[in-house]
């Protein structure tokens, strides 16, 4: 065994690759064996090769810092995360179930509102939320699908059980990194993939294309699909371009599109205007249509909401889908699954205290040091309080924030996130991670095999977001042929 692995200990956490006994888990056995047998220089040189590949492939994300946009190379850890196909099959069913229920919920909220009338979900939590867009009421998108692309964050507790942390239904990103991670592993550790049967990930773009095609308002053999990006300075621009290219769709910016008097969307081309059927938009609702939402938006397309309501164009994800992407609504998802599907939830949710309920609020305020407090509708890991790592002053600040606006905060117990061996400097050390699979919902439902594993590169850190120093790993779903 090479020295980098010598003192590897996962301590009290569930480790994805190494069991408590210190032996590799069955599905990961060959990966671990091979990596442990590599000489130390070889580990370092593979990492260097990965970094070079990332630079050459131009895999980057942009962060906004000190008034400047900086293009950073994508941080990648060469040791893959391995999950057995058997474990994954159950998770996958749970994700599909969840996505179906969430879409039923959104469709219900903008139409009959049965779930509110039946008192399953309190009406004010939904209708007073800034994620509820009254402009969308009365619209019935094809197949009842609103959240066509959902990125659900999963974590595992100390026993290895999967929990849903949140559902990202607005404009979830990360899929291109999942695909590029596999590409990098193939380039720099090809021998690792030998004799393994790993579920392939690279058909995602064609699955996405099929999902988007199924939304087209016109019966056409090849509907016109575009990816709408806010532009080069968006942190996920790389991904927008990547997906457009892989799908053979046009990558457009707001001013490439316009809505004509016939309420149809057109794109400006060198051959003149061409009608657009499906817009895979990667800009937020608020910026989508200055006629309907923020009037100062220069990123959007004036009139696109008109065209959408008239049924002349599909928008994915549908405007207003974010109503179910709210940490308060999250607490009601198990109830939704029972209500709409009459099924038992297959995936666990994290116990959630809603600060708007007086009883929960009292508990949260008394136990701030043991909880994670999150704003109800922020993403990217911003504005949260991790109780165990906070100062008294920070806790006091959050206490008053909660008192001021209880609807806007929820709290959850601090989970002991699972770890996986991660190559840091010269040593392999455990680091915490999560997993973001993607669920597609159009005419059919489809779940990615695995997803994007994000890893907190700082020792002990639980924050995995790339904007805050997180990295990523290739994620393998393998058949466990013992």
Partner 1 sequence: MNMLSRVAERLFWMARYLERTEDTARLIHSYAHLVMDIPRGSEPGWDILVHILNTEPSYNEHYRAYNELNVMKFLIAQPDNVSGILSSVRAARENVRTTRDVLPSEVWEHVNELYLYAQEYSEKSVGRRYRYQFLETIIARCQMINGILVSTLPRGHAYRFIKLGRLLERADMTSRVVDVGAAALLGEERLHSSVDPLIWASLLNSLSAMGAYQREIGPQVEAGAMVDFVLREGTLPRSIKFCLNGIRQELSPLNNNKEAIRLVLKARRKLSAFDPQTCSREELHIFLDQFQVLLTKLYSAIDQTWFMTAERRATATLS
Min dist. Cβ of residue 246 to partner 1 (A): 9
Burial class (CB in 10 A: 0-12, 13-18, 19+), 68: exposed
Helix, strand, coil % (nearest 5) of the chain? 35, 25, 40
Choose between 246 and 306: whose C-beta lies nearer to partner 1. 246
Min dist. Cβ of residue 205 to partner 1 (A): 11
Bridging pattern class, strands 225-228 and 278-281: parallel
Which one among 3, 9, 33, 55 touches partner 1, defined by CB under 8 A? 55
What are the angstrom distances between the C-alpha of 84 and each of 28, 197, 476?
8, 11, 8
Which one among 26, 57, 73, 142 touches partner 1, defined by CB under 8 A? 57
| Tokens of residue 130, six digits | 């800034």
Min dist. Cβ of residue 92 to partner 1 (A): 30
Mask of contacts with partner 1, 199-228, x by CB under 8 A?
-------------------------x----
Please say whether the dihedral angle defined by the alpha carbons of residues 285, 141, 212 and 377, taken in this order, is positive or negative: positive
| Tokens of residue 363, six digits | 């508990």
Min dist. Cβ of residue 294 to partner 1 (A): 18
Q: Which of 437, 329, 380 is nearest to 102 (CA)?
A: 329
CA-to-CA distance for 258 and 249, rounded, in angstroms? 17
- To 10 degrees, the CA torsion angle through 327, 317, 333, 346? -120
Subset of 230-269 contacting partner 1 (CB under 8 A): 232, 241-242, 244-245, 250-253, 255-256, 258, 267-269
Min dist. Cβ of residue 240 to partner 1 (A): 8
Choose between 250 and 394: whose C-beta lies nearer to partner 1. 250
Choose between 127 and 232: whose C-beta lies nearer to partner 1. 232
CA-to-CA distance for 35 and 82, rounded, in angstroms? 13
CA-to-CA distance for 439 and 103, rounded, in angstroms? 12
Choose between 274 and 366: whose C-beta lies nearer to partner 1. 274
Residue 119 binds partner 1, judged by CB under 8 A: no
Bridging pattern class, strands 385-386 and 371-375: antiparallel
Choose between 197 and 269: whose C-beta lies nearer to partner 1. 269
Choose between 257 and 315: whose C-beta lies nearer to partner 1. 257
CA 263-265-267 angle, to 5 degrees, is 145
DSSP state of 44: H
| Tokens of residue 325, six digits | 């992407």
CA-to-CA distance for 151 and 240, rounded, in angstroms? 15
Choose between 253 and 284: whose C-beta lies nearer to partner 1. 253
Min dist. Cβ of residue 226 to partner 1 (A): 9
Min dist. Cβ of residue 73 to partner 1 (A): 11
Min dist. Cβ of residue 237 to partner 1 (A): 8
Which one among 63, 127, 274, 396 touches partner 1, defined by CB under 8 A? 274
Binding positions for partner 1, rule: CB under 8 A: 55-58, 224, 232, 241-242, 244-245, 250-253, 255-256, 258, 267-272, 274
């Amino acid at each position: 065994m090479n020295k980098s692995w010598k003192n590897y200990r996962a301590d009290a956490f569930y480790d994805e690759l190494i069991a408590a006994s210190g032996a590799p888990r069955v599905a990961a056995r060959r990966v671990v064996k091979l990596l442990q047998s590599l000489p130390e220089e070889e580990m370092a040189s593979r990492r260097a090769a990965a970094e070079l590949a990332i630079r050459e492939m131009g895999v980057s994300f942009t962060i906004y810092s000190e008034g400047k946009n900086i293009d950073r190379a994508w941080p990648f850890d060469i040791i893959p995360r391995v999950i057995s196909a058997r474990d994954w099959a159950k998770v996958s069913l749970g994700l599909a179930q969840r996505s179906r229920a969430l879409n039923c919920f959104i469709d219900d909220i903008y139409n009959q509102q049965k779930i509110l009338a039946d008192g399953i979900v309190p009406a004010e939590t939904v209708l007073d939320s800034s994620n509820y867009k009254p402009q969308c009421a009365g619209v019935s998108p094809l197949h009842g699908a609103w959240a066509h692309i959902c990125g659900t964050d999963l974590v595992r507790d100390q026993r290895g059980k999967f929990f849903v942390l949140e559902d990202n239904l607005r404009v979830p990103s990360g899929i291109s990194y999942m695909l590029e991670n596999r590409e990098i592993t193939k380039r720099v550790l090809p021998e690792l993939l030998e004799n393994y049967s790993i579920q392939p990930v690279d058909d995602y773009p064609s699955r996405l294309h099929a999902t988007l095609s199924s939304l087209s308002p016109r019966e056409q053999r090849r509907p016109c699909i575009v990816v709408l990006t806010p532009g080069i300075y968006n942190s996920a621009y790389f991904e927008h371009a990547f997906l457009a290219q892989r799908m053979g769709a046009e990558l457009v910016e707001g001013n490439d599109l316009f809505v004509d008097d016939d309420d149809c969307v057109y794109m400006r081309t060198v051959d003149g205007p061409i009608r657009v059927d499906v817009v895979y938009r990667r800009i937020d609702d608020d910026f989508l249509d200055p006629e309907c939402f923020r009037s100062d938006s220069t990123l959007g397309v004036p009139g696109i909401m008109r065209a959408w309501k008239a049924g002349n164009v599909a928008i994915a994800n549908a405007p207003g889908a974010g109503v179910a992407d709210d940490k308060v609504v999250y607490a009601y998802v198990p109830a939704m699954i029972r209500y709409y599907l009459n099924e038992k939830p297959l995936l666990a949710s994290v116990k959630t205290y809603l600060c708007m309920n007086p009883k929960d609020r009292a508990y949260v305020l008394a136990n701030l040091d043991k909880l994670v407090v999150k704003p109800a509708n922020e993403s990217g890991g911003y504005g949260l309080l991790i109780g165990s790592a906070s100062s008294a002053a920070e806790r006091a600040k959050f206490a008053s924030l909660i008192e001021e606006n209880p609807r806007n905060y929820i709290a959850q117990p601090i989970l002991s996130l699972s770890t996986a061996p991660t190559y840091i400097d010269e040593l392999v050390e455990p680091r915490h991670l999560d997993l973001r699979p993607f669920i597609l919902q159009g005419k059919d439902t489809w779940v990615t095999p695995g997803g994007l594993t994000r890893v907190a590169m700082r020792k002990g850190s639980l924050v995995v977001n790339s904007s805050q120093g997180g990295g990523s790993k290739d994620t393998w779903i393998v058949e466990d042929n013992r």
